[in-house]
Structures are given as C-alpha cells and as structure tokens.
Amino acid sequence: MRIPPSPFAAGGVHTVLDPSSAAALTDVTLADLAETDAAIERAHRAFPAWRAIAPGERARLLRAFSDAVGSRIDELAQLEVANSGHTIGNARWEAGNVRDVLAYYAAAPERHFGRQIPAPGGVDITFHEPLGVVGVIVPWNFPMPIAGWGLAPALAAGNTVVLKPAELTPLTALRIAELALEAGIPEGVLTVIPGKGRVVGERFVTHPLVRKVCFTGSTEVGKGIMRGCADQVKRVTLELGGKNANIVFADADLELAASSAPGGAFDNAGQDCCARSRILVQRSAYDRFLELLEPAVTSFRVQDPRDEEAQMGPLISAQQRDSVAEQLDGADVAFAGRTVEGSDGFWMAPRVVLPRTLRDPVWTRELFGPVVAVMPFDDEADALAKANDTEYGLSGSIFTRDLGRALRVARGVDSGNLSVNSHSSVRYWTPFGGFKQSGLGRELGPDAPDSFSEVKNVFLSTGA
C-alpha cells in the first residue's frame, strides 16, 4: 500500500495510527500558517483560469477526475481501512461515492443556467458567478465522501478549493488530490492541506481570499466557524451533529425494523452524524421489539475491518472509545454485542441502553459510538414530541405499514433527512443537511452548485 506524502511540513508531524491495531502507519507532515496562506494564494491565482475554462472542458476534466478515482477504488478503500478502520465494504462504497459525486457534478458546468426574467424596457438575465476560493473542512468519520460532497460541486461551479482533512484521517484526501492532478485538473485548483483545526481550519475562516467555508464536524466547532465567518460575511455551510430517532410503530414489520436497527445505529461504529442512536418503539410492541433486537445485535459482525464479512470495525481512536465508554458510566445496558478481544486497537462492543428519563445523557447526547438507546412511546403525538425533543435535527426513520402515518410523521419530525422502512439518508443526487443545530444549508442534490456561486442580475436596456 503506497502512502501519499504531504507537500507541507512546517506545521509539525502527526503520526497516523491504524485504529484496528493502534500500530503507527505513517507520519504526516502538517502545514503551518505561512504554508496555508501560500496555498490559499495559489488557489486564488488559479481561480481566473479555472472559472474561464469553457463549461464543456471543465466538465470533461471533472469526468477524467471521476475516472481516475474510479480506477483506484480498491487502493483508496485499502488506505481508508488502514487509516480509519472502516470495513472494507464501506470503504469501497465511500471511494465509489467520490467517483459518483464527481461524475454527477461533472454534468453541472454546461447546465448551471441563469434565468431570463420579464422586465419592461429591456432584458433581464441572471448568472451564477463562482465565489473564488472555497475552504472545505472535513471530519474524521467519513473522510472520502465528505471531501467529495464539498469539492465536487464547488469545482463544477468554477471555484478553486483548499481542503483540510481531519488530523486523524488525511491519507485518502492526499491521494485524491494526486489523482486530480493526474486527471489534468490544473495545479492550484484543488489543494489538500493537512493540518490542525486551530491553524489551517481557522485560517480558512479568517483569510479574506477564502470566500466560503464548507464545514462538517461537531456542533461546537461549527458555531465558532459561523461566528468567525460573520466578520467578513463569509458564506458558510455547516453539517453538524445528530441524535436521530428511529420511530417504530406497532403496525410495522417488526422483524424488518429490528434486523435493520443495528445497521442504522452501529454502521461505522456509530461514528455517523446520521446514526439512528435513539429508537422509539410503540409501547404495545416494545417487549417484542427488544426480543427481536437482541439477536440482531449479538450477531452483528464486529471484526477485523479487512474481512469481507465485517459489519463493524474499531472506533477511530483511543480517545473516542474512552469518551464513549465514559458517557456510558452507570447507564442501564440491556444487552451488548461482540467485540475483538486481545488487540491494542480501539475496539468496543455495540450496546443497547435503556434511558431512565428523557434527560438521560444516553438519550440526549451525541455519543458518536456504537450505542443505541431504546424508549417506549404511546401514540403518534407522543412519538413526535419525543423525537423532536432535541437540539439536533439531521435524520431519522419511521417504520410503519400505514402510508398516511408514514407521511404525517415524516412531515412532523424536525429533521432534514427522513426514511420510511429503511435507514437511508444519503444519495448524492438528493439534498442532505440538518434542521436546528444539525446545520445550515444543504449539500448534494441538483442545487449544490448554486450554494457555491452568487446570483448576479443583469438588466440590458433595449432603448426607449
């Protein structure tokens, strides 16, 4: 496995660990402030030529970039398994997602239409103008997809991009930047800058040449980014935390609801902003649901992420595992799944917990680990009240056989992404984002290039 080098060095070194064994994989050199500034200025200098490329040519370059990623799916997936502990199946999907997102937005340059609006005495037309340099800040939980969701529509809309991966997981982003160059994307159009949040990430916020920050990460850091962007009225998209409810009605296919619940909660070891980490079950079906849930949890395959059958690997770091374990202190654990014993890696068994009250931390906090809390509800109104009793609003699921109820409840839950009788949240061609403190703005879907451009209105007088 070839590990891509970082082109920066002055900001020190971060030793990247393999979370499945805690073994050191490589040292990644980090950018300091001066190197970050220089990279932002390079991206700024690359902008006029990139925005001026004919739409069809920009599209062709993005298709070539997509093909370059597509021809390296296995290589990128292996790198992600080693760096992030993702299961090999998930990691292949994630690399494929980058390929597909690039291909999807490669169709945008020739289709990013303005409008012609009736106006007396002339012709009124609108244009989508690119912003300039866009800063994308990526968390460690889905290093590849989240990078792609920011960079692909931003490039398609004619911007140049500086991208900061999380300190813990820089390797696939560095490789993707190499593939961009191989595909013919000009120097300076996409620059991956490994570095610290407080150095590189904050500089994206404070540097006046960065015209938009596209941030995915914790709600706490996101609030600071929003405050910082206010100083320059800088555009900002925030994709933040979640504490998502999976609402199971008594009329649902309970076998389906129970067998799919572990995947909805423990995929990526629960380190997923869309994890359905709260399950609300209608009281009359509560005992039966728990009976069905137990074997689904105990048979969930927690094993070496390189095994094709693995359903869950380790957590990202010792710190993350310890923080989840700490927050479980004193919790009422109904049952636990398997884990890997005798390894120095950051393993943890999935757990099902029964909160004692609506204010129990296991019910209210985003633990970001393989923990799901189950609570009964009485009727539709009670389900909605409990589901919405959170500052977050990212995703959620509804299990019922009643179509009318499915739609009523989906409309009633204050979340950006809901699924009925499944746990699907993300399709690159549909919009994704949060209500309330889960975020601001939307990513993906057909409109994403709009959020990386300004609308300009031009009126041409046709004379008297």
Contact residues: ligand NAD, CB under 6 A: 137-142, 146, 164, 166-167, 197-198, 201-202, 216-218, 221, 224-225, 239-242, 273, 366, 368, 394, 434, 438-439
Q: Which is nearer to ligand NAD, 31 or 296 (CB)?
A: 31
Q: Is 229 a catalytic residue?
A: no
> Phi, psi at residue 309, to the nearest 5°?
-85, -5
Residue 226 CB, shortest distance to ligand NAD, in Å, is 11
Q: Is 214 a catalytic residue?
A: no
Which tokens hold the place of 163? Answer: 């991208």
Q: Which is nearer to ligand NAD, 202 or 304 (CB)?
A: 202
Nearest to residue 261, comparing CAs of 239, 218, 291, 306?
A: 291
Residue in 35, 94, 202, 239 annotated catalytic: 239
Residue 121 CB, shortest distance to ligand NAD, in Å, is 46
Q: Do 185 and 137 meet the contact criterion of CB atoms below 8 Å apart? A: no
How far apart are alpha carbons 464 and 461 in whole angstroms? Answer: 8
Residue 46 CB, shortest distance to ligand NAD, in Å, is 23
Q: Which is nearer to ligand NAD, 46 or 136 (CB)?
A: 136
Q: Which is nearer to ligand NAD, 61 or 205 (CB)?
A: 205
Q: Which is nearer to ligand NAD, 396 or 439 (CB)?
A: 439
The residue to which tokens 């380790």 are assigned: 314
Q: Which is nearer to ligand NAD, 241 or 313 (CB)?
A: 241
Q: Which is nearer to ligand NAD, 138 or 312 (CB)?
A: 138
Helix (H) / strand (E) containing 459: strand 453-461
Nearest to residue 438, comparing CAs of 416, 421, 411?
A: 416
Q: How far is CA 155 from the centre of its chain?
A: 18
> Phi, psi at residue 241, to the nearest 5°?
-80, 180
DSSP string, 300-364: S-B--TTSTT-SB---S-HHHHHHHHHHTTT--EEEE-----S-SS-----EEE--SSTT-HHHH
Residue 280 CB, shortest distance to ligand NAD, in Å, is 20
Residue 175 CB, shortest distance to ligand NAD, in Å, is 17
- Vertex 314, ends 311 and 315: CA angle to 5°? 120
Nearest to residue 110, comparing CAs of 62, 41, 178?
A: 62
Residue in 214, 229, 273, 274 annotated catalytic: 273
9: exposed, middle or buried (Cβ count in 10 Å: 0-12, 13-18, 19+): middle
SS3 content of the chain, % helix, strand, coil (to 5): 40, 20, 40
Hey, which residues are catalytic here?
239, 273
